[in-house]
A and B are shown apart, each in its own frame.
Chain A
Amino acid sequence: MNKKILIFFAFVLFASIVSAQVTYCCEKTINNEPCVETENIGDCKLEENGITLGRSPAANCVQTGYCQRVTCVDLESGTCQTSYKSKCIAQGGDPNPELNEFLIDSCIPGCCAMKDTTGLVVNIAFVSHIRCKKLAKDWGADVSFDESIDSEDLCAASNTPDARGACVIEATTASPSSSEGFFEGLFGDSNEDIETFSITTACVMTTAKGCLDKRNSLGADYDVGFHIGYLCSAPELETDCAPSEKTICVEGRNEVFFVDTCGNICNVYDSLKLSGDNINYWTYIAGTNLVEVDCGEGKDSPTCGNCDYLDGSKCRKKSRGESVDYGEYICKDLDCKKIPSEIKADGEARNGETWCGGEGTSTITYKDDITFDVDIKGEDKPGSLHIKYECREGEVIPEVCSHLRDKVCAEGIKTTEKGTSSYASCIQNRWETCVFQGTEETCLNQENGICKWVQGVTLSVMKKDGEVLTTDGDGDKIYGACVPELAPAFEFWKEEDSICNALGTSVNIVKYHESWYRSRKEMEDEWERKREHCVENCYCVKDYKAGDARGEILSGKTFEDYLDNDDKAREDGVVPIPFGDFSDWKETSTVICTALGDCGRMKITTDNTGKITSLEDTSKGIKNFLGYPGQAIEWSKIITSVFVNKPDKEQEEITEAATEGTTYEEDYGDEVGENGDE
Chain B
Amino acid sequence: MNKRGQVTIFIIIAILVVAIVAVVFMVPKIREGIGIGKVESPENFIQTCLEDVIKEDVETLSLQGGSLDPEDKEVFTLYDDEKVSYLCYTEKYFEVCMPQQPLLEKHIENEIQESIEEDVNYCFDSLKESYEKKGYEASVKKGDLRVDLLPKRIITTINNTFVFSKGEQTERHESFSVIVDNNLYELIGVVNSIVEWESYYGGAPLSLYMDNYKYLKIEKKLKSDGTKIYILTDRNTETIFQFASRSVVYPSGGI
Chain B residues with Cβ below 8 Å from A213 are: none
CB of A183 within 8 A of CB of B106, answer no
Smallest CB–CB gap between A96 and chain B, Å? 11
Contact (A491, B206) CB under 8 Å given A48-B73, A399-B219: no
Residues of B176-227 contacting chain A, CB below 8 A: 185, 192, 195-196, 199, 203, 206-207, 210-211, 214, 217, 219-222, 224, 226
Given contacts A32-B74, A81-B192, A395-B217, contact A406 B250 (CB under 8 A): yes
In the complex, A230 has a CB within 8 A of chain B: no
Chain B residues close to A by CB (< 8 Å): 10, 14, 73-76, 89, 91, 98-103, 105-107, 150-151, 185, 192, 195-196, 199, 203, 206-207, 210-211, 214, 217, 219-222, 224, 226, 235, 250, 252-255
A309 at the interface (CB under 8 A from B): yes
B10 — nearest CB in chain A belongs to which residue? A183
Which residues 63-93 in A have Cβ within 8 Å of B in the complex? 69, 72, 74, 76-77, 79, 81-84, 87-88, 91-93
Q: Within 8 Å CB of A87, what residues of B? A: 100, 102
A122-160 contacts to B (CB < 8 Å): 123, 138-139
Chain B residues with CB under 8 Å of A91's CB are: 101-103, 106-107
Residues of A within 8 A of B199 (CB): 81-82
Q: Report the separation of the CA atoms of residues A35 and B99 in the bound assembly, to the nearest whole angstrom.
A: 12
Provided the pairs A35-B98, A69-B98, A400-B222 are in contact, do residues A499 and B255 lie with their beta carbons within 8 angstroms? yes
Check if A497 is an interface residue, CB within 8 A of chain B.
Answer: yes
Complex contact B185–A138 (CB within 8 A): yes
B222/A74 in contact, CB under 8 A: no
Chain B contacts of A397 at CB under 8 A? 217, 219
CB of A354 closer than 8 Å to a CB of B:
yes
CB distance from B15 to the nearest CB of A (A): 12
Which residue from B14, B73, B195 sits with its C-beta under 8 Å from A183?
A: B14
What would be 24 A-B contacts, judged by CB atoms less than 8 Å apart? A31-B75, A32-B75, A33-B75, A33-B89, A72-B103, A81-B195, A82-B98, A82-B99, A82-B199, A88-B102, A91-B103, A92-B103, A93-B102, A93-B103, A138-B150, A138-B151, A138-B185, A183-B14, A399-B220, A400-B221, A404-B250, A406-B254, A490-B253, A491-B252
Highest count of chain A CB atoms <10 Å: which of B14, B99, B100, B207: B207
Distance A87 CA – B210 CA, assembled complex (angstroms): 31
Smallest CB–CB gap between A432 and chain B, Å? 5
Main secondary structure of the interface of A (DSSP, over half): mixed
In whole angstroms, how far apart are the Cα atoms of A401 and B228 in the complex?
A: 10
Say yes or no: A499 contacts B253, CB within 8 Å. yes
With contacts A79-B103, A91-B101 known, is A490 near B252, CB below 8 A?
yes
A392 at the binding interface (Cβ < 8 Å): yes
Instruction: Please measure, in the bound complex, the distance between the C-alpha atom of A91 and the C-alpha atom of B104, giving whole angstroms.
Output: 9
Which residues from chain A contact B105 at a C-beta distance below 8 Å? 77, 79
CB neighbors of B among A343-371 (8 A): 352, 354
A390 at interface by CB-CB < 8 Å: yes
CB distance from B18 to the nearest CB of A (A): 10
B214 and A309: CB pair below 8 A? yes
**Top 7 closest pairs, chain A to chain B, by CB:** A83-B102, A72-B102, A406-B250, A81-B102, A400-B222, A91-B103, A491-B252
Measured CB to CB, the closest approach of chain B to A346, in angstroms, equals 21
Q: Which of A33-54 contact B (CB under 8 A)?
A: 33-36, 48
Partner of B252, one of A74, A400, A404, A426: A404
Interface centre among A35, A82, A138 (most CB of B within 10 A): A82
Question: Shortest Cβ distance from B84 into chain A, in angstroms?
Answer: 13
Q: In the assembled complex, how far is the CB of residue A314 from the closest CB belonging to chain B, in whole angstroms?
A: 7
Contact across chains for B89 and A393 when beta carbons are under 8 A apart: no
CA distance A497 to B220 in the complex (A): 29
Q: Is the CB of A83 within 8 A of B99?
A: yes
Give every chain B residue within 8 A of A627 (Cβ-Cβ).
Answer: none
A314 to B98, CA, bound (A): 38
Q: Is A438 an interface residue when CB atoms closer than 8 A count as contact?
A: no
Is A479 an interface position by the 8 A CB rule? Answer: no
Verify A34–B100 contact, CB threshold 8 A: yes
Whether the pair B91, A77 counts as a contact (CB closer than 8 A) is no
Bound Cα distance from A92 to B254, whole angstroms: 39
In the bound assembly, the distance between CA atoms of A92 and B110 in angstroms comes to 11
Residue from B98, B211, B221, B235 whose CB has the most chain A CB atoms within 10 Å? B98
Residue numbers in B under 8 Å from A92 (CB-CB) = 103, 106
Nearest Cβ in chain B — how far from A180, in angstroms?
16
How far apart sit A82 and B91, CA to CA, in the bound complex (Å)? 17
B203: A residues at CB distance < 8 A: 426
Q: A305 on the interface (CB 8 Å rule)?
A: no
Q: How far is the CA of A399 from the CA of B210 in the complex (A)?
A: 14
A494 to chain B, nearest CB (A): 8
A156 closest partner in B (C-beta): B212
